Amino acid sequence: MEILHTTNIDSPIGPLFLAASSQGLVALEFDARLPGQQSIRPNPRDLREEKKGFQFEPSSRVMQPYLSELEEYFAGKRREFTFPIDLRGTDFQLACWRALLAIPYGETRTYADIARAVGKPNAFRAVGMANNRNPIAIVVPCHRVIASDGSLCGYGGGLDVKRKLLELEGALTGALAA
């Protein structure tokens, strides 16, 4: 059984849940989830949760490096995260998430841009699904991905949160700011 250290924090965009393995941050989730949205957290109504193989141990001490960098990010004082992350997914998901990590602070890309970046130019819908499964919101910046027409679309934290993150980073221009 793998031990994951956890903590909950209040942020300018609402409560967040964080979990880290011995290798790095495994999950950064919004407290409010959309129906059907995946979570690493146990669901008290699901008796099959033990199959995930995790034991959760709350630890604000172990989680402090993650909390400090997130606080700096929300204060507008950090543009890159330096703590380790422990991404877990399919090869395609991992490729998409690495492409997200390459999007600079304050910039956006389209789903088609990400599809091209992972060598699957027609897989923009699959890229959208990989973004939907991104376990480390904000740090793996799926909020920086927009529709080809320049509009905001699809975000696990909701479009209002996506807009706030892009505003924080100074990425809202033209049609996005409307």
Separation between Cα atoms, residue 169 and residue 40, nearest integer Å: 27
Alpha helices in the chain, H assignment, sequence order:
60-74, 91-101, 111-117, 124-132, 159-168
* DSSP string over 35-82: TT---SSPPTT-TTGGGG-EEEEE-HHHHHHHHHHHHHHHTT--SS--
Closest CA to 11 of 65, 85, 70: 70
Separation between Cα atoms, residue 92 and residue 101, nearest integer Å: 14
**Cα R_g (the chain), whole angstroms:** 16
Whether residue 153 lies in the annotated active site: no
Which member of 139, 142, 152, 165 is catalytic?
142
Active site residues: 142
